Amino acid sequence: MTDLRTVSLEVLRRAGVVRVYDVGQRLIVLDAQGRGHALEGDSARLARAVLAYLLVGHTRNELYEHLEVLSGAPLGATDVVDELLALLLGAGALERGAPASRVVPLHTPGHRVVLGITGAVAAMNAPVLVQALLERGLVVRVVATREALRFVRVEGLEALTHTAVVADMWPVDSALAVPHIGLAQWADAMLIWPASATTIGRIASGDFSSIVAAVAASTSAPVMLAPSMNPAMSGSAAVQRNLEQLIDDGFHVVHANTGIEVADRPDQRTPTTGGAPSPAIILQLFDAMLRDNPRPRPHDTEDWDNVYRRAPETLAWHHAAADDDLVAIAAAMAAGSRILEVGTGLGVLALACAGLGYRVVATDLSRRAVALARERDSTSAVVWVEDDITDSRLHGSFELMLDRGCAHLLGDDALDGFVRNAARLVAPGGQLVIKALATAAAPGLAVLDGARVRARFGAAFALASEAPSTMPGPSAAPAARLFVLKRHG
């Protein structure tokens, strides 16, 4: 190694999007404005080696050492390498530090979205939109009119979503007996992009002869439409009347953008109005609609598995340390007590209880959460079980049952199941401890107070105490209530 270089711990890595191509012995690097830099000979070979090595982040010194290994000789002065790095950084081909974090959805993760594609030429870009929706953490199902399939292939859409495209009101071999009703009930939101004049007219007039119109008309979820048609059509009295009707009916109707009319010859095309927004723009609009219409909570195991594909720091309820008040209650239990934690998530509280020497069973509705929690358990001190406390398959008797943030997610029917199973699993004289948010921070969250707890749990439990608390998360600790209930003997 040479001592001519300056020690640098700065991490560099190849950017996620680069504007680079090879031609002959040259390597061309473009910046974000399209300005080009041509590298030839040794400079081009060096740039290729640097870009290949920095696919994974490395410090400058690690890069210098790597280049010495490749060349078989000491690197000496690093001026040439540093100039190349400055060029690649300036062009955006390299970036400093950790990679840019994945876009965090501003809406509830796991939203179920039906994408309706109709017979406008913009449908050819539907795979780009599908991929963008999936990257937002959304669960996507595609329905398409037969006219739409003239512009986009089913195989590409199905490869992205891993589900069949529904293009018929009564498809053969469909998993849904009545697809337009099944999808309408399944959806948390629907996006029709592009929306042709025909489909707009069908929905506005109550003609549900296509699968896209039928789902849109049958769902209670919010629906966004992005009209796309020739300006002569979009400006017609009939289309304007239909759009006004849809707006009055509560549909979210996107304003048309400027685009080209493919009916014109290529050499005669000029920008006109009437086109659907690009996938990038429609995604922003759709995100805004989802924020204004948040889904109360995930529906089932599949949804919760999608939630736990996110980084822990994006989970509003996750905290790296167990709540002090819950740990204190557990610590007061007699030696050898059995503890059940429901809705364990990533297992922080269950592991804390196991660390106190108790026998712990921890459950969660999400298979993925259970798997992640099990990976964190280096001592195998906890029994991890995939289970739904509202319809539990567990057997046994526990002196303490802990619930941090489950009960406030449950409607009346599900809460009845929670109570029924808690009464079965908590031993006579044992305790059920519930921590719930003190206010409904999102639609669908129930507020638990002493009166409601007594009313719902009173047949099997006595409310021993109720106290203010907090629900620590990665960046905030909203107000909560802590309920301690004792199982009737």
The 10s digit of each residue's pLDDT in 77-98 is: 888 999 999 999 999 999 987 5
In terms of residue numbers, what domain contains 183?
112-295
Evaluate whether residue 4 is within a structural domain.
no
The mean pLDDT of 161-183, rounded to a whole number, is 76
Rounded to a whole number, what is the distance in angstroms from the first to the last CA of the chain?
76
Backbone angles phi, psi at 393, to 5 degrees: -105, 5
* Cβ–Cβ < 8 Å for 289, 269: no
Residues 133 and 17 in one domain: no
- Here the contacts of 281-288 (C-beta below 8 Å, separation 24 or greater) are 281/257, 282/129, 282/191, 282/193, 282/226, 282/254, 283/129, 283/132, 283/133, 283/136, 285/224, 285/226, 285/254, 286/133, 286/189, 286/191, 286/224, 287/105, 287/106, 287/107, 287/136
The count of domains in the chain is: 3
- Across the range 292-300, mean pLDDT stands at 66
Question: Which one has a higher pLDDT value, 242 or 232?
Answer: 242
Residue 3 lies in a domain: no
Q: State the pLDDT at residue 101.
A: 39
- Is 401 in the same domain as 449? yes
Is 342 a member of any domain?
Answer: yes
CA atoms within 13 A on the CB side of 315: 18
Do 158 and 196 belong to one domain?
Answer: yes
Most confident of 201-205, 256-260, 410-414: 201-205
- 412 & 310 share domain: yes
* Rounded Cα distance, 307 and 366, in Å: 9
Domain co-membership, 235 together with 120: yes
Residues 423-478 have pLDDT tens digits of: 999 999 999 999 999 986 555 567 889 999 999 999 999 999 999 999 999 888 99
Q: Is residue 103 part of a domain?
A: no
Out of 72, 96, 120, a domain closes at: 96
How confident is the model over 1-30, as a mean pLDDT?
A: 76
Q: What was the pLDDT predicted at 4?
A: 44
pLDDT at residue 440, rounded to an integer: 67
Q: What CATH number does the domain containing 440 carry? A: 3.40.50.150
Residues 182 and 219 in one domain: yes
pLDDT band at 3 (very low <50, low <70, confident <90, very high): very low
pLDDT tens digits, one per residue of 202-221: 999 999 899 999 999 988 88
The answer to whether residue 105 is domain-embedded is no
Query: For position 56, what pLDDT does the model report?
Result: 83
> What average pLDDT does the chain have?
87
Residue finishing a domain among 295, 317, 339: 295
Q: Choose among 257, 247, 201: nearest CA to 223.
A: 247
347 and 399 both lie in a single domain: yes
Higher pLDDT, 255 or 403: 403
**Lowest mean pLDDT, pick from 27-31, 74-78, 108-112:** 108-112
Among the candidates 66, 96, 126, a domain finishes at 96
- pLDDT value of position 1: 37
Residue 154 is part of a domain; what is its CATH number? Answer: 3.40.50.1950
pLDDT over 60 at 8, yes or no: no
Query: Do 326 and 448 belong to one domain?
Result: yes
Structure tokens at 15: 């950017």
Same domain (yes/no): 276, 307: no
Cα of 438 vs its chain's centroid, Å: 26
Residues 59 and 119 in one domain: no
Identify the pLDDT of residue 426. Answer: 97
pTM score, whole prediction: 0.56
Residue 370: is its pLDDT beyond 80?
Answer: yes
Q: Is residue 32 part of a domain?
A: yes
Closest CA to 401 of 472, 483, 321, 345: 483
- Does 351 score more than 60 pLDDT? yes
Is the predicted pLDDT of residue 104 greater than 50, yes or no?
A: no
Question: What is the reported pLDDT for 50?
Answer: 93
Structure-token pair, residue 226 = 């992005």
Does 117 lie in the same domain as 67? Answer: no
> Could you tell me if 289 and 333 lie in one domain?
no
Q: Is residue 107 part of a domain?
A: no
Residue 40 lies in a domain: yes
